[in-house]
Amino acid sequence: MIGLIDYGMGNLHSVAKALEKVGGKVDLVKDADAIKNYERIVLPGVGAFRDCMQTLRETGMADALTATIATGTPFLGICLGMQVLMTRSYEFGVHAGLGLIEGEVKAFPDLLIEQGFKIPHMGWNDVVLPQGNEHIVLKNTAGQQVYYVHSYYCAPRNPEHLLAACSYGSYPFAAAVGKDNILGVQFHPEKSQQAGLSLLEGFIGWKP
Q: Would you please indicate which residues are annotated as catalytic (active-site) residues?
A: 79, 188, 190
Q: How many angstroms separate the Cα of 179 from the Cα of each of 45, 81, 101, 161?
A: 20, 15, 8, 6
Instruction: Write a three-state SS string for 79-118.
Output: CHHHHCCEEEECCCCCEECCCCEEEEEEECCHHHHHCCCC
Element (H, E) at 41: strand 40-43
Q: Which of 190, 193, 138 is nearest to 166 (CA)?
A: 138
Q: Identity (one letter) of the amino acid at 202?
A: G
